[in-house]
Structure formats: C-alpha cells, structure tokens
C-alpha cells in the first residue's frame, strides 16, 4: 500500500509513521509538508491512502482534498483527515468534501490507524460502486435505450437551460421537430422489431449531418427533436433541415426489403424580443411539423410565416432555375455605356433577366441562388454565348466596333472551360476578344485559388479585359487593384451623391479617381442618374458613363432601334 502523509509538524509525522510500522499494515510511506508539494506528488504517482492534516501552512488540507477530487470524477485516493480535537468541526467538513474518515491525532495508535485505514478503504470501494450505479441510473434516466439519443427528460432540461442562456445572446436558437412519415404503416407491415431497426438506422444517418453541439433527442415513439443554439440566421436551420432530409434519400434495408423513409420537419425560431417560453417554442415547432405533414412526405416548414415565405421562394427559385435554361426563360438586357467627352456609344453591359412562370425575376434575386446550387456555370455560359452572338450582329459592318461587358460571378471562375469557350464564341461570331470585358466583384478576387487565377489569366491571355465591379462598396482594397490584371474599375452607383447630398464634398471620390488614374485604369461611373452626376463625372475625368440618365438595361431590339438605326435584331 502506498501511503502519503501530509503534515507540517515533524513530531506528528513521526508519531503516525511509528504507529503505521507497528500496525503491520504493509506499506511504503512518503511525506509532504504542504499542499503544493503533496499535489505535485499525487500528480506524479498513485497513492492508495493520503493521511491529511487539516492545518497546513499557506493552504489548508481541505484545498488539497478539493483539488484531488476535482482531478477526475473517479476519485482514486482514499483520504483520511487528521485533526486536533479543537478542529473537529472542520474535519467533519472535510468528510463532506469527500474524505473517507477522520482521526483525532491524540487518539492515533497502531490498532486505531489500522482499523481506520481498512474501514476508509472499504467505504471508498462502496462509494465507487454507488457512483457507478448512480451513473447507470442517470444514463437510463437521460438516454433513450433504443437509439442512445437524449430522451425527453434530458432534452427538456437542456432546452430550458439553452433558452435561459439565450436571453443574453445575439445568435439565434431554433428547434426542429420531426417524425417519420408513415411510420405506423412500416410497423404494421414489417413488425415492431423492423420498425425499431428503422428508427435506429434513421438516427444514425441523421447523426452524421449534425455537429457535436447540436442536441439530438428522441421525444418518444417516432418523434425527434434537434436543438440548434448558435445560428447566425434562421436560414441555417433550413439548411440543416435540408441536410437531414437528404441524409435519408438512400433507402434502408429492412428484413431483406428496401424501404424508403422520410421525415416531416417543423422549425420554430426563438425570438429574444418576445421571449418565448420553451412550451411555446415546442408548440410552434409542433404546428410547423403538422403543416409539413399536411403538405406530404419529407417536407420542411417554419412556424414563422416570414421565414416560410423565404424558404418557399428559395425552393421555387431553385427548382425553377433547374429548368430555366432548357425552357429558354432567360434573356439579356443591354445597358449602354458612353464616352464621357464625345458622348459616343462605346458598348454595353449585358444584364440577365429571367422570365419565369411566376413573372419577371431580376438577377439580384436569382444569381445568388444559382451560385449556391452551382447552376451559375450553365447560366454563365449561356450569357456569354448570347452576348457574344448579339455583339457579332451589332458589329457587322461597323467601322468602329462596340464593346460588351459581361458579369461573371466568383464561382464561374472555377469553370476551367470558360476561356476556351470564349475563344470559340469569338471566332464563331467574328468578334475580337479585346472587345469583351468581364466584370468581377471584389469578393470574386478574394479567392485566389490557382484554378481561379488560371482562368482569369487565360481570359486576359486571349485579349479580353477585366473590370472590377461595384468599386467602393466592398473592401476597396488597393492590393486587388495591383495583383489582378485589371484594366477597368467601375465606381459603384452608391458613390454618386444623392439629390440631398448635392452639395456634399466630393473629396473622397476625387481622391479615389485620382488614385485609379495613377494606376492607369479605365474608369466607368455607374448609376449616372442626373445631369448633376454627369457634370460631376466630367469634372472628375472618369472615362465612361452608364446609368438611367441615358438608358436603363433594355432588350436587344430596343437597343437596335434606339442606337443602331436598324429595325429588329
């Protein structure tokens, strides 16, 4: 037996040692005179028994006890407190803090010490057993036996705590409730053990799409909940619900049969202002789940109408976009750009429009969606081919050819075929590539992965120019101006002073333009809406003008009629 005596009094230590020798307890003894030394020793090696004096210099024995007990939840040393009679009350306090016994120093004899150590050891063993069975019971009380998920009890406790903690936070909290579609039917046709196996299979799949901090619980039967506590936006909850739904796409095998399973999901988002209670939030999520069920299998619904509208609109957009190209629902509008001095037409910016079954949809709404679903690649290629084809028509027989600016978004730079497609299109429509200008936003330049850089360089290699779009809205970083082979910068329309700012100092704009000129960049002013804007641009000495003052984005036919003196395309 390894025994550690912690006592600063040398006489007391000797007394204990002598008693131990006489007691015939087989042991090796080490000694410490203060808490820190004792702690260091306990960290180094495993003692079976610590005989601990309450009164120690600097730190009390109880502090050592507390530190030993907090080291791990399984306490590994038996601790016997030693005290003088006057601090008996304190010694009792030590028992409460986790010591197994205490002895009065003046009563220490060989026999007494032997008995104390043996009894303390036994008590310690019992305590460990008790702790283990407590943990087993706790597990049973908090975990669902079939799926090993948190059960209703643990879920309720965690949920209450999360809501209480949430009052002070700006992040969002959302509750997803779902149940398995037609679970009763599966149970009835395949039997209960197959039904259980299906529930286990579903939980396993769903667990793979969750993070560790996302609580997943079985509330009962085929009803489950996921608690999301750190959401930046409610849409994250929709995205997670979508992942849950997708995770069940592949069918399960039940007793040799392929069975497809789906869940109906309801989502409620905690509103800090209204201060929903957990009961309210549960009820809302339940109502949303009910709505999902009514819509059919595998649906996702928000309780909050605004959020519901938002995801529905998005889903409609996503689904519609998947077929829009094929159905030829896109068309291009063209917005002219003019020379600041001569006011001559220099070219156009191609702007996409979507004539969907729901009506005309503008790019600000559907381009971000198409970026996320990667449909932008196909759409972008279509824009390019349509714009080049149109430019070929307009330039036929012109002595001074017109130019075409084409917007490309960040994800399109991953399209490694873009340069070769551009080259082929230019050849087909007899367009010099240097008449094409690709407009990129600053965010597209932030990602300087080798694929994207290579695409940009290949486009420049063909002779095309690159323009930085919306300058003045993002980081407006000078590094991008220098590190990317840009030839043009487009000043964002927000840089134009509004009517009530007419007298505002234009010092910032002046400085920016001077800097851009210094870098030999061609400057386009966007959003020129008034005569005053035009005059400002002339004073600043930007090069090209674009804006509603001259013309908005209009159809090719309209451009032809207004600017090219010909009818039709």
Which partner, ligand C2E, Ca ion, none, binds residue 87 by CB below 5 to 8 Å per kind?
none
Minimum CB distance to Ca ion, residue 209 (Å): 37
Question: 302 is written with which tokens?
Answer: 């928000």
CB 49 within 8 A of CB 4: yes
Nearer to Ca ion, 101 or 439 (CB): 439
How far apart CA 302 and CA 271 sit, in angstroms, is 13
Minimum CB distance to ligand C2E, residue 490 (Å): 7
Nearer to ligand C2E, 117 or 408 (CB): 408
> Is residue 238 within a helix (H) or strand (E), and if so which, with residue range?
helix 234-247
Which partner, ligand C2E, Ca ion, none, binds residue 363 by CB below 5 to 8 Å per kind?
ligand C2E
Distances (CA, A) of 201 to 208, 259, 289: 11, 11, 21
Which partner, Ca ion, ligand C2E, none, binds residue 212 by CB below 5 to 8 Å per kind?
none
Q: Which residue is nearest to Ca ion (CB)?
A: 439
Sequence-distant (≥ 6) Cβ neighbours of residue 395 within 8 angstroms: 401, 402, 430, 431, 435
Nearer to Ca ion, 252 or 330 (CB): 330
Which partner, Ca ion, ligand C2E, none, binds residue 547 by CB below 5 to 8 Å per kind?
ligand C2E
Question: 384 is written with which tokens?
Answer: 């390019």
Which partner, ligand C2E, Ca ion, none, binds residue 364 by CB below 5 to 8 Å per kind?
ligand C2E
Which partner, ligand C2E, Ca ion, none, binds residue 351 by CB below 5 to 8 Å per kind?
ligand C2E
Minimum CB distance to ligand C2E, residue 522 (Å): 16
Which partner, Ca ion, ligand C2E, none, binds residue 527 by CB below 5 to 8 Å per kind?
ligand C2E
Q: Listing from the earlier edge strand, what are the strands of the sheet with 172-180?
A: 215-220, 223-231, 172-180, 263-269, 300-302
Specify the stretch interacting with Ca ion by CB under 5 A; choose among 128-136, 171-179, 436-444, 507-515. 436-444
Contact residues toward ligand C2E (CB under 6 A) are: 335, 350-352, 362-364, 367, 383, 407-409, 439, 469-470, 493, 526-529, 546-548, 552-553
Minimum CB distance to Ca ion, residue 529 (Å): 14
Residue 287's CB is within 10 A of a number of other CB atoms, namely 14
Which partner, ligand C2E, Ca ion, none, binds residue 101 by CB below 5 to 8 Å per kind?
none
How far apart CA 113 and CA 176 sit, in angstroms, is 60
State which of residues 144, 179, 439, 534 lies at the interface with Ca ion (CB under 5 A).
439
The backbone torsions φ and ψ at residue 487, rounded to the nearest 5 degrees and listed phi first, read -115, -15
Sequence-distant (≥ 6) Cβ neighbours of residue 10 within 8 angstroms: none
How far apart CA 209 and CA 201 sit, in angstroms, is 14
Nearer to Ca ion, 234 or 472 (CB): 472
Site string for Ca ion, 394-413 (x = CB under 5 A): -------------x------
Q: Is 415 exposed, middle or buried (0-12, 13-18, 19+ CB in 10 A)?
A: buried
Sequence-distant (≥ 6) Cβ neighbours of residue 257 within 8 angstroms: 190
Check residue 470 for interaction with Ca ion (CB under 5 A): yes
DSSP string, 371-389: HHTTTHHHHHHHHHHHHHH
Q: Give the residues lining the site for Ca ion (CB under 5 A).
A: 407, 439, 469-470
């Amino acid at each position: 037996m390894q025994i550690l005596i912690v006592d600063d009094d040398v006489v007391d230590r000797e007394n204990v040692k002598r008693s131990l020798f006489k007691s015939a307890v087989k042991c090796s003894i080490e000694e410490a005179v203060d808490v820190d030394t004792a702690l260091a020793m306990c960290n180094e090696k495993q003692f079976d028994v610590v005989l601990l004096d309450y009164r120690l210099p600097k730190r009390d024995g109880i502090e050592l006890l507390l530190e030993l007990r907090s080291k791990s939840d399984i306490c590994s040393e038996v601790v016997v407190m030693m005290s003088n009679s006057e601090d008996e009350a304190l010694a009792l306090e030590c028992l409460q803090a986790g010591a197994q016994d205490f002895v009065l120093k003046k009563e220490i004899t060989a026999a007494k010490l032997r008995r104390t150590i043996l009894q303390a050891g036994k008590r310690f063993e019992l305590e460990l057993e008790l702790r283990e069975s407590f943990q087993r019971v706790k597990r049973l009380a908090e975990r669902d036996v079939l799926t090993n998920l948190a059960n209703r009890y643990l879920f309720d406790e965690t949920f209450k705590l999360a809501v209480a903690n949430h009052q002070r936070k700006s992040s969002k909290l959302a509750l997803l409730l779902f149940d398995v579609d037609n679970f009763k039917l599966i149970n009835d046709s395949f039997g209960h053990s197959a039904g259980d196996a299906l529930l286990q299979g579903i939980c396993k799949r769903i667990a793979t799409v969750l993070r560790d901090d996302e609580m997943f619980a079985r509330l009962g039967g085929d009803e489950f909940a996921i608690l999301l506590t750190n959401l930046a936006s409610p849409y994250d909850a929709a995205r997670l619900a979508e992942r849950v739904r997708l995770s069940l796409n592949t069918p399960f095998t039940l007793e040799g049969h392929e069975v497809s399973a789906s869940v109906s999901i309801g989502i409620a988002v905690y509103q800090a202002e209204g201060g929903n209670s957990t009961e309210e939030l549960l009820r809302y999520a339940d109502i949303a789940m009910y709505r999902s069920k009514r819509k059919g299998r595998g649906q996702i619904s928000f309780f909050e109408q605004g959020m519901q509208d938002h995801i529905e609109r998005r889903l409609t957009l996503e689904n519609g976009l998947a077929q829009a190209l094929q159905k030829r629902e896109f068309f291009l509008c063209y917005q002219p750009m003019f020379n600041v001095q001569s006011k001559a037409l220099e070219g156009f910016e191609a702007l996409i429009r979507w004539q969907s079954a729901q009506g005309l949809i503008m790019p600000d709404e559907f381009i971000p969606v198409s970026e996320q679903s990667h449909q932008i690649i196909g759409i972008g290629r279509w824009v390019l081919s349509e714009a080049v084809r149109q430019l070929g028509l307009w330039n036929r027989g012109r002595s001074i050819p017109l130019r075409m600016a084409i917007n490309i978004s960040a994800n399109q730079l991953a399209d490694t075929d873009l340069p070769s497609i551009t080259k082929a299109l230019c050849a087909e429509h007899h367009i010099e590539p240097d008449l094409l200008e690709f407009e990129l936003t600053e965010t597209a330049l932030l990602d300087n992965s080798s694929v994207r850089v290579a695409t940009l360089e290949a486009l420049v290699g063909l002779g095309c120019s690159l323009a930085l779009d919306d300058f003045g809205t993002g980081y407006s970083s000078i590094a991008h101006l220098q590190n990317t082979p840009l030839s043009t910068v487009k000043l964002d329309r927000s840089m134009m002073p509004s009517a009530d700012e007419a007298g505002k100092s234009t010092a910032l704009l002046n400085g920016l333009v001077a800097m851009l000129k210094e870098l030999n960049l061609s400057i386009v002013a966007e959003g020129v809406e008034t005569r005053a804007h035009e005059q400002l641009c002339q004073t600043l000495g930007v090069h090209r003008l674009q804006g509603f003052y001259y013309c908005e984005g209009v159809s090719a036919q309209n451009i032809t009629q207004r600017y090219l003196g010909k009818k039709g395309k």
